[in-house]
Amino acid sequence: MEVLNAIGRRKSAVARVYLTEGTGKIIINKKDLTEFFPSAILQYVVKQPLLLLEADGKYDIKANLDGGGFTGQSQALRLAIARALVKVNAEDKKALKDAGFLTRDSRAVERKKPGQPKARRRFQFSKR
């Protein structure tokens, strides 16, 4: 199996994933998964597509993460891994789609409007 690549995005985070057959190592920005994401919850989010397909120890994943915060990065990585797994085996697409791992979460921060302190918050109205 050759190297397969996929991209995932969430908020302002971008994850580029390179998937090869291997022993299940996940390297993110030249660091191990547990070193890059110390939180067990974020590690679980990243591994969700692999756990769903019971492919936890089958593939080595090398990822480049850029932008955003740690939650957005972990979810972008999850999307990229799911997309790469579909490239490996197209029959897995239905299971991943039903679990919601192939849907790009398009929610992003709303822009700040002029004459207001935040996106929707307005300055206090004074009648007199």
Q: Is residue 76 part of a domain?
A: yes
Instruction: Report the domain count for the chain.
Output: 1
Q: Residue-wise pLDDT tens for the chain (128 aa)?
A: 789 999 999 999 999 999 999 999 999 999 999 999 999 999 999 999 999 999 988 999 999 999 999 999 999 999 999 999 999 999 999 999 999 999 999 999 999 999 999 999 999 999 98
Asked if the structure places residue 65 within a domain, the reply is yes
Q: Which structural domain range is residue 26 located in?
A: 4-99
Between helix 40-52 and helix 70-88 the angle, nearest 10°, is: 10
The whole-number pLDDT of residue 1 equals 74
Amino acid present at 100: G
What CATH number should be reported for the domain holding residue 40? 3.30.230.10
**Within-domain flag for 120:** no
Report the 10 Å Cβ neighbour count for 60.
Answer: 16
* pTM attached to this predicted model: 0.91
Calpha distance 2→19 (Å, rounded): 8
